[in-house]
Amino acid sequence: MSTDIIRLKANPITRGRAEGEALVTRMPISITGGLDPYTGKIVERGHELEGQSVAGKILVFPHGKGSTTGPWQYYVAFRKNNAPRAIINVRAEMVVIVSAIITNTPMVHQLEKNPMEIIKTGYFVVVDADNGLVEVIKRRRSRS
């Protein structure tokens, strides 16, 4: 098995470091009405992550959308251990920023390359918001 590591500079929103499996969507996420804080699952009908849990994942999505009650819903998810370990946005918006701030969730945005083009669901990702870095670790099976 061979491993490729891609290191990307990012602009930190919060501080901290987290690592884990990526969960990626090209669709914006609404925390209010889109995320069930009691299960960690995306419940927005028609969303490409509908039915999948964000709990413990490195959540990669373009930006948030929706209501200003999102941070409260995110906080509930966090307290129930149903929130992501870290957030990577193409361009952050205020609802997701406040959610990350009140829960000390590591969050970055405006990476030097579009994360939607680099990171795939299942890749192992390290978010180092203290140093503004994201490491993407791709593992491939070698042919024998």
Active site members: 67
- Number of helices and strands in the chain (H, E): 3, 10
Dist. CA 15–CA 10, nearest whole Å: 12
**8 A C-beta contact, residue 116 and residue 90:** yes
**8 A C-beta contact, residue 63 and residue 93:** yes
Q: In this structure, what DSSP letter does residue 50 have?
A: B
Residue whose structure tokens are 């491939």? 140
